[in-house]
Amino acid sequence: MEENTKTMEVSAEKENTVSKHFIEQEIDKDLAEGVYDHVQTRFPPEPNGYLHIGHAKSILLNSGLAKEYGGKFNLRFDDTNPTKEKTEFVESIIEDVKWLGADYEDRLFFASDYFETMYECAVLLIKKGKAFVCDLSAEEIREYRGDFTTPGKESPYRNRSVEENLKLFEEMKNGVYADGEKVLRAKIDMSSPNINMRDPVIYRVAHMTHHNTGDKWCIYPMYDFAHPIEDAVEHITHSICTLEFEDHRPLYDWVVRECEFENPPRQIEFAKLYLTNVITGKRYIKKLVEDGIVDGWDDPRLVSIAALRRRGYTPESIRKFVELVGVSKANSSVDYAMLEYCIREDLKLKKSRVMAILDPIKLVIDNYPEGQIEELVAPNNMENPELGERTVPFGRELYIEREDFMEEPPKKYFRLFPGNEVRLMNAYFVTCTGCEKDENGNVTVVHCTYDPETKSGSGFSARKVKGTIHWVAAATAVTAECRLYENLVDEEKGKLNADGTLNLNPNSLTVLKECYVEPSLKDAKAYDSFQFVRNGFFCVDAKDSTPEHLVFNRIVSLKSSFKISK
């Protein structure tokens, strides 16, 4: 018995190990071997644009690892390039990270906070003979660097004395030289098979105003030099980044080693999150915004985190999506339908199912008393009784969806047509008696009669009907605008044209101006979301909706062919 218990414990331990992804396994190993006695991670965005769904994976992975191991998580802006950085982007990133639930507590940092330390590190490298001031132009540096088949050539300035390099670097800092006139380069190995190690530039002259430090500095560190120093200063243990930085790892390690940081961080790379047929490139989005094709970085057709929030996605749905995608070393693309699946799963039991008419046509119940308004009881969500009930006004004149009436229906059409009886959801049975048309032959009004004995909840069961349609009472209906979204990219033709321009879907946005919703929605606020019966999940637009003019964005339709394999 004791032996069986031990076997079960070993089996459970193995199962637990297998269930962990490779980064967790590496962290477990580091902790077990005493490399680190704690875990500290960070999310280090550059404030040069809005974050997108791919960044959400990194945010949730880094913050999740810190939480899992009882460690700490930092938010740090890698603001070393003042040419592209804006306070607007800083503010949007902070909002996104908080919204996703990644708790950095009071640990909000900026790379620019460490400019003095970085400068001192650069001076240390010069004193150690590990860095030199170079006068070659950017083009000449590229030429001297060589390529994957040709080793690089040493700069003619590589062997300047320590004293001369210290003097020149000080002059660079003091604004003596113009942009591009001189750079500081690490002195490593021009014959290295890794081109990143061929005497990379670590400081440049740039006479620009910085969003955080103003005009204090006219030299700025390069990302590959600054980034490892930032991690080391903050005592980050595991620098979790995406695969494109794998070839930069030797330089990362060189910097923290040569700058003599104790117990330096360890870089581990994982695969980026790619969604099929979506636009994430900042250059493309910037042009879409400037050309007025989208109404900002938060346009609901984009997959920036701000856009997904505005469309009605929830932090829980994005966390579920990232969990399903998983963590791996292999790059791959994920179908956008998986993200839609996650928001449906999150909302279906949380949200009220209300009636809204997007393409209205009037229905008149000829034998219902004129001027009478009746309050009917409707469940908020039949799959979740805990959401309770609401009252819905009912009257003689209603709005129904245009597609719910056909004068000459095909087979298996069970909604309204002359002579057919249907149930009005949560109300009565009605029988269609005819319709009115305009001079062009378009149906303008549908007529019917109702059976007062068939009230929903009355227990009536004398006869059955095959069709149930939803409705909104005309007298109390609230007018709203509804926006229906499709992919911004033409999925059949692919994302890019032959000339590199975006292949856009001309039908990516449909605006329905005259929709009607039940009065329970009249006080809906920004980001409030609902399931509109048969039409999908909708969210109050945070940008354009007002109490006088409600605007709803369709988050997602109700059905999809996408399935999660068990």
Residue 328: φ, ψ to 5°? -145, 175
**Tokens representing 546?**
């007002």
Tell me: pLDDT of 5 over 70. Answer: no
Q: 140 is written with which tokens? A: 């000449």
C-alpha–C-alpha distance, residues 78 and 111, integer Å: 5
Mean per-residue pLDDT, 317-343: 93
- Going from the C-alpha of 111 to that of each of 116, 303, 441, the distances in angstroms are 10, 27, 68
Quote the pLDDT of residue 235: 96
HSE-CB of 520 using CA atoms within 13 angstroms: 23
Identity (one letter) of the amino acid at 530? F
What's residue 158's pLDDT? 97
pTM beyond 0.95: the answer is: no
Q: How confident is the model over 260-311, as pLDDT tens digits?
A: 999 999 999 999 988 888 988 888 898 899 999 999 999 999 999 999 999 9
Give the amino acid at 517: V
What is the tens place of the pLDDT at every residue in 124-175? 999 999 999 999 999 999 999 999 889 899 999 999 999 999 999 999 999 9
Q: How far apart are the first and last CA of the chain?
A: 34
Whole-number percent of the chain with pLDDT over 70: 96
Please choose, from the candidates 353, 273, 271, 359, the residue with its C-alpha nearest in 3D space to the C-alpha of residue 538. Answer: 353
pLDDT in tens, 468-510: 999 999 999 999 999 999 999 987 777 777 777 788 999 999 9
Domains of the chain, first to last? 22-270 (3.40.50.620), 353-556 (2.40.240.10)
Q: Are 385 and 401 in contact (CB under 8 A)?
A: no
Q: What is the pLDDT of residue 18?
A: 55
Q: State the average pLDDT over residues 248-261.
A: 97
* Residue 356 in this model has a pLDDT that exceeds 50: yes
Please report the beta strands in 311-381, taking only residues with DSSP state E, as ranges in sequence order. Answer: 332-334, 353-354, 356-357, 360-365, 373-379
> How large is the average pLDDT for residues 191-202?
96
pLDDT in tens, 39-78: 999 999 999 889 999 999 999 999 999 999 999 999 999 9
Strands, E assignment, 233-275: 238-242, 266-270, 273-275
Please answer whether residues 471 and 430 qualify as being in contact, where contact means their C-beta atoms are separated by less than 8 angstroms: no
Q: Which residues contact 52 (CB under 8 A, 6 or more apart)?
A: 280, 302, 303, 304, 305
pLDDT tens digits for range 367-406: 999 999 999 999 999 999 999 999 999 999 999 999 999 9
Beta bridge partners, 468, equal 423
Average pLDDT value over all residues in the chain: 93
pLDDT the model gives residue 565: 61
The phi, psi pair for 202, rounded to 5°, reads -120, -15
> Cα separation of 362 and 355, whole Å?
15
Query: What pLDDT shows up at residue 54?
Result: 92
State whether the Cα torsion 399-402-405-411 is positive or negative: negative
pLDDT confidence of 1, banded at 50, 70, 90?
very low
Beta bridge partners of 57: none
pLDDT digits 0-9 by tens, 425-474: 999 999 999 999 999 999 999 999 999 999 998 777 778 899 999 999 99
